[in-house]
Structure 1
Amino acid sequence: MAALPVSLISNKDCFPWVVQKFGGTSVGKFLENITGTIVKSHLETHRVALVCSARSGKTKAEGTTNRLFKASEEALKHGSKEYVRIVDEIYQDHVKASREIINNNEIILNELEKHLFQDCAKLKRFLEAAQLIDEISPRLKDIIIGVGEKLSCRIITAALQDKGINAEFINLENIIEQEFDANNLNQKFYDYLAKRIAEVVSKCGNRIPVVTGYFGIVPGSILNSVGRGYTDLCAALLAVGLRAKELQIWKEVDGIYTADPRKVPKARLLPIITPEEASELTYYGAEVIHPYTMEQVIRSNIPIRIKNVMNPIGEGTIIFPDAPKKSKNGFSKNGYHERHPTAVTIKNNIIVLNIHSNRKIMSHGFFAQIFAALDTYGIVVDLISTSEVHVSMALGAEIIEKDLQKALNELEKLGTVDVLEGMAILSLVGKQMKNMVGIAGKMFTTLAEANVNIEMISQGASEINISCVIDEFNADKALNVIHEHLLPIFTYQIPPDLSLPDQIVPQNPIALFP
């Protein structure tokens, strides 16, 4: 009996689901890797579902989503037709990509180009209507931005079909059928979404679902309620709904490192990391995955694997919670040592505010008024260090200058305010280092020996994250000395196909310091 084609055996009911999420840069630059290698390599043993972001260009500013934002802005300018040129440019970019990846079937290519044209023509009509009424509502902006995922998913679906894989384009823009309170989108809403997305995808049968990361008209707007990371959340919810064996997040790096390998030549790939550690690294400079997205998957006991679209055979980094039991040799069952930091990261372009009270108000009123002033102008504090009459705060670079100045005017009523610019936050992260006595002291001693001055210190009671603010000029030097002196080397045996956390065991139970 002749072997069945890949497209017919790929999604048998007996196979476990794997959800693969591809980011904008991957879709923009590595279509052949995705459709020709990555998807095919999983089809013999898994049912595969794809979730795709909008295509990105050489830079994020050139990406489809940013162009769509720009088109929305131009549509609100009286008499401007720049939005037409932007949409035409988006269309041509996608047509060009389509012709480069689809080589075998002209019918598939022609059908794809017809759909791309229709999507862009509809987009122009939306923008034209917005210009006529001089308004773009949050709901309309969601629809406009969601076009990016539709275009990229159409290309990937067609490219898979061109390679003989029976794929199906899945548009999620109308899946929400119940009423929800926009001011209270709790876990019940996300559980509903996971179920609905899985229901739609399951109707594909043996076809490979290629799912738009944009999942429709969310109460209160998807951009306002979820943010631009909605494609990661969509993939997470799909994995939960399908009870997937694994959620794979495909990027352009091999996984999560002990430090930024572009700045620290000796940085090492982490085979496994906890969600708590990944969340801390995301917040303090490393682009991993949004903490809330991780929570949706991890609470269902589904591992997340970060993989490299340029190196598909690499094992990547697994994000998974600690196993509850610990072995006699000092390692937890998932391969973690109990007493070491996991990674070190840096966040640049930090502004430090030092506020010294004028003593006209009690300390509790002093703090309350500080945070009220910051909240009024939407300023988020990354780190804080306090005494009864003094507060030091580290603020991220995304602050709008005029908002900061307004906040400073309010804060100066409370006391003396000093502003330091050109600073950086250095963070040492590790869930298991909380039992390592003196780790904070060793961190600060190491910096002192390297002549790195510390402006402020912040440390939580759990010691999962010890952070300090230093001059940005010393950021790379500090990153390297901390990595060299505080991050031990471990060797692990990680199976390429994770099924149980306790499969991950250390080959060598000894920590080797560089």
Structure 2
Amino acid sequence: MIVMKFGGTSVGDAARLHQVAAIIETQPAPRAAVVSAASGVTNLLLDAARASAVDGDALSAKLTTQIRVRHHDIAAAIASDHERAAAVAALDQLHAALDDALAAVSRAGELSQRNSDRILATGEKAMSVLLAATLRARGTAAVHIWADRVIATDDRHGNARPDRTRTRELAALEMKPHLDAGSTVVMTGFIGCAPDGATTTLGRGGSDYSATLLGAALDADEVQIWTDVPGVLSADPRQVPDARVVPGISYDEAQELAHFGAKVLHPRTIRPAVSLGIPVRILSTFLPGEPGTLVTREAPADSVKAVTALTNLLLLTIDVPELEDLASASAAVFGALHDDRIEVIAASQASSRRRMIYVVDATGHGGCTRVGQRMSAALDAAGVDAEVGCREDVALVAAVGEGVAAAPQTLSQLLAILGRAEIPVLFTNQQHSNVALTVAVAGKDAARAVLALHDAFVRPQPASSRGRRPRRSHMLAESLRVG
């Protein structure tokens, strides 16, 4: 059993959709494909929904016309008259439902998360219809199933959490009969179903998450994530021109890379696969002959495999004069960060035990002025006398590789490399899991830090592969600019 996921750039137009169909047909049955909306469509849907909420019906209508044109252009390339007509009829029903949802938003004068989920699901639903019809027109038995009949979630619209037990039951009920009959099942990514039957969305990285949730529900032999880069890279090719594909990484390494800024996977994507030990393979729709990156429970653990950076962070320092106030100060800070939905990327306590350091992602929270005031107020409310410091435009650079943090010389080497590059280090953290070493640097130094560490730690590309590197690097950089 293979579950494949195809992202928005992979299904962006009719030619790419036919390429995806050809890839699916090479995989052994039983097989399922999870699809995103065509690239750009989700943003158009969100813009249309926001416009409807503020009496922008004319703009909303203009945007939905663009969506219709995108979908009908893809449908026009379906070779079978019968399949094309059926797909167009299904699209017309989806677009009519979209109009009704936008009208409801206009009447309400606001965009609720519930209505937003209903509207955003249109892109994935349309693409599942189009891909299934394309496969049938090519002579491959296929059926589309919308994930709001399979992926059970709670009712947290916009960022729903899945119910894996119920999802397993629904997958057996809705999908297994089609798979057993030899059909390829095409399912929508990103969306799910609340207990009351309403459509939900899984938040950022939702389509990849859908694929691994489905893989776990169906006891898949492998989950394949087809994207616009040929695997997990040793660094961002915009920062490191000779970044290369890492052939194999562990689940822990994949989660650390995703956590610290790698864009190929979202951190939670791996979790359903981990529980059952299902391999996840990262592949490129545009270079289908490349082996990609295989993510498994265990992988070679002899070196740093990749260097990545998470930017636009804040570095908070909390200086507490009295030792007995440390626990109260920590509780107050973590509570305020939680209440404001500010993600803590890294945290540590100085050896003096009086200084606590937090590296946080406070994007959209007003920078140091707003966050610093919020922390001061929380500490005051807790009755803690503390001094709050804050620095903006901080980057957290991570060197990731199973076991590297356990090697006593690695941290000293890392600091020496950055010292020679004249890059000041603001903060260091050696992960207890032994998977990553992290340092905080000024945002302006992040790209230089990644390049310096990559040059020092990541082994050179094997000579047999060097002939392909210039072309691949160019394609990687171009795909990142486009995608």
Q: TM-score, normalised by structure 2?
A: 0.84
Equivalent residue for 1:114, pick from 89, 110, 115: 89
Deviates more, 1:290-299 or 1:358-367: 358-367
Given that 2:318 and 2:388 are in contact with CA atoms closer than 8 Å, whether structure 1 keeps it comes out as yes
Gap runs ≥5 in structure 2:
463-483
Q: Secondary structure at the match of 1:299?
A: helix
1:411-490 counterparts in 2 under 5 A?
411-412=375-376, 414-488=385-459
Aligned residues: percent identity? 27
Deviation at 1:125, TM superposition (A): 1.0
Alignment pair present for 1:201 and 2:175: yes
**Residues 1:130 and 2:94 aligned together:** no
Give the Å deviation of 1:299: 1.8
Structure 2 residue identity aligned to 1:98: A
- The residue identity in structure 2 corresponding to 1:41 is T
Shift of the 190–470 alpha-carbon distance from structure 1 to 2, 3 Å rule, reads: same
> 1 CA distance for matches of 2:199 and 2:315?
29
**1:329-364 deviation digits (Å, cap 9, x = unpaired):** xxxxx5x14x42221111122222233336597222
On the 8 A contact 1:340/1:436 being kept in 2, the answer is no
Give SS of 2:389's match: strand
Is this contact kept in 2: 1:306–1:317, CA < 8 A?
A: yes
Q: Pick from 364, 369, 380: which aligns with 2:327?
A: 364
Aligned to 1:192: 166
How many residue pairs match? The answer is 448
Match of 1:150 in 2: 125
* 1:336-347 correspondence to structure 2 within 5 Å: 336-337=300-301, 339-347=302-310
Report what 1:12 is aligned to.
none
Per the TM alignment, residue 284 of structure 1 is displaced from its structure 2 partner at its CA by 0.8
Does the 8 Å contact 1:21/1:52 carry over to 2? Answer: yes
Matches within 5 A, 1:68-147: 68-78=45-55, 80-99=57-76, 101-102=77-78, 104-134=79-109, 136-147=111-122
Deviates further, 378-387 or 130-139: 130-139
CA distance in 2, matches of 1:242, 1:28: 28
Q: CA shift at 1:490, angstroms?
A: 8.8
Aligned residue number for residue 282 of structure 1: 258
Q: Partners in 1 of 2:458 and 2:323 — Cα distance?
A: 46
Q: Compute the displacement of 1:92 (Å).
A: 1.2
Partner of 1:53: 36
C-alpha displacement of 1:454: 0.4
> What residue in structure 2 maps to residue 28 of structure 1?
12
Q: Distance in 2 between matches of 1:459 and 1:176?
A: 37
1:470, CA displacement in angstroms?
A: 1.0
More displaced 10-residue stretch of structure 1: 68-77 or 225-234:
225-234
Q: Does 1:308 align with 2:284?
A: yes
Partner of 1:499: none
Partner deviation per Cα, 1:297-322 (whole Å, 9 max, x = no partner): 23222110000000011111011011
Equivalent-residue separation in structure 1 for 2:196 and 2:233 (angstroms): 37
* Distance in 2 separating the partners of 1:82 and 1:360: 58
Q: Give the secondary structure class of the aligned counterpart of 2:358.
A: strand
Aligned pair partner of 1:245 in 194, 214, 221: 221
Q: What are the Cα deviations for residues 386-445 of structure 1, in whole angstroms up to 9, with x where unaligned?
A: 23332332222623217x544322334554433322321111111222442221111111
Match of 1:40 among 4, 17, 25: 25
Q: Distance in 1 between matches of 2:58 and 2:171?
A: 37
Contact 1:138–1:221 at 8 Å: present in 2 too? no
Q: Cα 1:221–1:161, aligned 2, differ >3 Å: closer, same or farther?
A: closer
- In 2, the alpha carbon distance for the partners of 1:392 and 1:313 equals 46
Which segment drifts farther, 150-159 or 215-224? 215-224
Whole-angstrom distance in 2 between the partners of 1:191 and 1:158: 31
User: Could you tell me how far 1:121 is from its partner in structure 2?
Assistant: 0.9
Instruction: Map 1:204-243 to 2 at 5 A.
Output: 204=178, 205-219=181-195, 226-243=202-219
**Residues 476-511 of structure 1: per-residue CA shift (max 9 Å, x gap):** 2211221122223597xxxxxxxxxxxxxxxxxxxx
1:289 Cα deviation after fit: 2.4
2:354 aligned partner: 389
Task: Give the drift of 1:109.
Answer: 2.0
Distance 1:255 1:157 in 2: 26
Q: Is the counterpart of residue 350 in structure 1 residue 313 in structure 2?
A: yes
| Aligned counterparts of 1:319 and 1:211: Cα–Cα separation in 2 | 23
> Does the C-alpha gap of structure 1 residues 233 and 448 become closer, same or farther in structure 2, counting only changes over 3 Å?
same
Q: Which residue of 1 aligns with 2:341?
A: 378
Cα gap change, 1:400/1:407 in structure 2, threshold over 3 Å: closer, same or farther? closer
Q: Mark the runs of 5 or more structure 1 residues left unpaired by the alignment.
A: 1-16, 57-62, 323-333, 492-514
TM-score (norm. length: structure 1): 0.80
- Which of 395, 400, 408 is 2:372 aligned to? 408
Change over 3 Å in CA distance of 1:182–1:477 after alignment to 2: closer
One-letter identity of the residue aligned with 1:253: V
> Where in structure 1 do 4 or more consecutive aligned residues deviate above 6 Å?
179-183, 220-225
Change (3 A) 1:445 1:222: farther
State how far apart, in whole Å, the 2-side matches of 1:366 and 1:257 are.
40
Mapped contact 1:273–1:319 kept (Cα < 8 A) = yes
Whether the 8 Å contact between 2:193 and 2:199 is mirrored in structure 1 is: no
Cα deviation for residue 78 of structure 1 reads: 4.0
Contact 1:142 1:217 survives alignment (8 Å): no
Q: Aligned equivalents of 2:394 and 2:56: distance in 1? A: 44
Q: Secondary structure at the match of 1:378?
A: coil
3-state SS of paired residue (1:173): helix
Structure 1 CA distance, aligned partners of 2:235 and 2:423?
18
CA 1:46 to 1:223, structure 2 compared with 1: closer, same or farther past 3 Å?
A: closer
Asked whether the 8 Å contact 1:275–1:291 carries over to 2, the reply is no
Evaluate the alpha carbon distance shift between residue 459 and residue 176 of structure 1 in structure 2; reply closer, same or farther with a 3 A threshold.
closer
